[in-house]
Structure 1
């Protein structure tokens, strides 16, 4: 016969339970059913159980469940510690980094984020770092971040086709992959799976210094030429010109919804979370920017503003033809619109700090590149005057 103590122990129930809600597309949304001190609350995790149509999805569901269980465990720890007056512990020590990255990738795919090839590469790269790919979230601290950066620059090598010699990563590629990992860890912090992102704690000297590139941009006169020239895909022209006036990246433009547009006393702005940095920002919109919005019609708040944008390779192909038709001899990609905005702001006399905030730069030194471009153009202009009077 069980003792009274054993009976009492059996009656104890977990204060947090994992539940799912069936969605119209056949998937299930995970949420936590939390019951504490006679009060019930629910926490929707924005993680999903997908119909297991193949082995890839089955594995994806496995890692999602692992992340959900880690969140559940932490909530129970939080509740227990709160009752005992113990400070909240930081993060889930045992959750595999690879499992979190797989969950983050699945969530990005579900959101319709198309440009995820960099994230997939990061998952493959991270799997080669550490002891047999068993890095856990509890292992990720500043020392781990510095070790990963050092390994990425000096020891990691990327291979081409079978039989080809492997080559070291360029600093530009290393910086890009580190930024992709940083974004994934920022998401883990927001999900309270990680206490803090150690990559955000690194000094400028500790971070990978991306080589300064020759940033292509359009002059104000070239922008006018594009406005006057037809483009075979109107939505591409609208999106590109819009970005010339507000500096949004293609990933942010693609995800813009009408609910992100805010009107305040006749002035418009966007309230968004930037995809690259995961930073929430407010973007004021000029009248010129507003001119390039597609007609809303009967679209609701959740509808995409630039609905129907093709893939980035297609966009850049369309841009190439459009620029050629306008008589502009420059190699233009969509990202050139962001550089165009930066140089236009510097050209019209906007200060460095304001331009930095408008572009969502975390470090004003990034914005200084545009100031250097404008300065070099001033020097070119002065030298042109000198050439006019040569031989006199």
Structure 2
């Protein structure tokens, strides 16, 4: 049997001779932004505790009327959700504002998807506009969309389109779970299949060579070598702080943090040599001064000065880490855990690279 949530308008005395108005839910409801159960919602509305004149009394009456209107609206929304009624007010809300709010909690790719979606919907989209056909249209758009960088020269890569589409579908799932959408549109949308591409990586000899090559931005060199030794993404290295470096039960050091992409806590053991790349222990961020833009042109310049002309990106350091582990006999499950992959399937590409190198090696010795 459903227990209908009750909504009460409460008052609380605060400083400055004011009273704060807030909503009290019973039983508690789940906050859609924090995903935690809560009984309170602060309205940001204040009234005079002891109105001194007619103007202040009228102000109090007006604010109380507005707060009561909000209380009634919240009760209606909860009733609609609890008994599966269609909340028309939510459907008229701005989906783009919701998208932007989610982007602030996510990583850079979400901003790219948002920019493309704003172009597709011409800057206007409500939740009620998110029909199956409308969303399918965005899928078609992504498959032929132009790049947002380099003055729009050339279409975005197929796998970029697949990644953007996957992110957009994840957003639709969130909106459905938070009851902004009446049905899960994802059930009717096909994914964009990924194409297998050659993943560039550095050999151990190249990594050792980079150690000896000076870089105009020392913190960039430090971060690149650290990624080669840990497989961490740039998004995680940018937020890595000294509090994440802890002593493990086995007496060695490890990185304990929640990775930005998977949003899951990981415990990644590191060697003393890797720890040394962090420099002297202090407070706050480890790679102070490191900016995301440094992994573009400055990284290319440094690699070029080292004689590396292949298309190597910062993410290639992650591939280098995995491939070097596989080449040295580390099993695929261990590599998968160290890369914080949710599935071993995502890790197998690195083992395949090693298999190809093994085939080449087998042809070196010939009796002919």
Shorter-chain TM range is: 0.5 to 0.7
Number of the residue aligned with 1:276: 261
Change (3 A) 1:377 1:44: farther
Structure with higher Rg: it is: 2
Question: Retained in 2: the 8 A contact 1:246–1:283?
Answer: no
3-state SS in 2 of match to 1:384? coil
Q: Please, which of 321, 334, 341 is the counterpart of residue 321 of structure 2?
A: 341
Q: Which residue number corresponds to residue 226 of structure 2?
A: 242
Unaligned runs of 5+ in 2: 1-5, 13-20, 29-37, 44-69
8 Å CA contact retained: 1:269, 1:282 = no
Deviation per CA, 1:170-216: give whole Å up to 9, x if none.
Answer: 522311322442464576589786799865x799xx42122222111
Would the aligned equivalents of 1:152 and 1:169 in 2 still touch at CA under 8 Å?
no
Distance verdict in 2 for CA 1:78–1:121, change over 3 Å: closer
Contact 1:15 1:35 in 2 (8 A): yes
Aligned partners of 1:135, 1:282: CA distance in 2, in Å? 35
Structure 2 distance, partners of 1:318, 1:128, is 35
1:332-365 CA deviation, whole Å, 9 max, x = no partner?
2211111101211211222223322322333332
Contact residue 95 and residue 127 of structure 2 kept, 8 A: yes
- Residue 102 (structure 1) aligns with: 100
Q: Tell me if structure 2 keeps the 8 A contact 1:294–1:306.
A: no
Q: Which moved more, 1:87-96 or 1:284-293?
A: 87-96
**What is the aligned-residue RMSD (CA, Å)?**
4.6
For the residues of structure 2 that align with 1:157 and 1:344, how far apart are their CA atoms? 36
Q: Does 1:151 align with 2:140?
A: yes
| TM-score between both structures, scaled by the size of structure 2 | 0.66
Match in the other structure for 2:287: 306
Residues 317 and 42 of structure 1: CA distance in aligned 2, closer, same or farther (over 3 Å): same
Question: Is the contact made by 1:78 and 1:88 (CA closer than 8 Å) also made in structure 2?
Answer: no
- DSSP 3-state at the match of 1:15: strand
Secondary structure at the aligned position of 1:282 is classed as: strand
Alignment partner of 2:241 out of 233, 257, 260: 257
**Distance across 1 between alignment mates of 2:362 and 2:345:** 26
TM-score with structure 1 setting the length = 0.63
- State the number of aligned residues: 314
Does the 8 A contact of 1:323 with 1:329 survive in 2? Answer: yes
CA contact (8 A) 1:271 1:280 kept: no
Q: Distance in 2 between matches of 1:212 and 1:305?
A: 35
Give the SS at the match of 1:295.
coil
1:122 and 2:122 matched: no
Instruction: Output the CA distance in 1 between the equivalents of 2:354 and 2:134.
Output: 36
Alignment of 1:200-219 (within 5 A): 206-219=190-203
Partner of 1:26: none
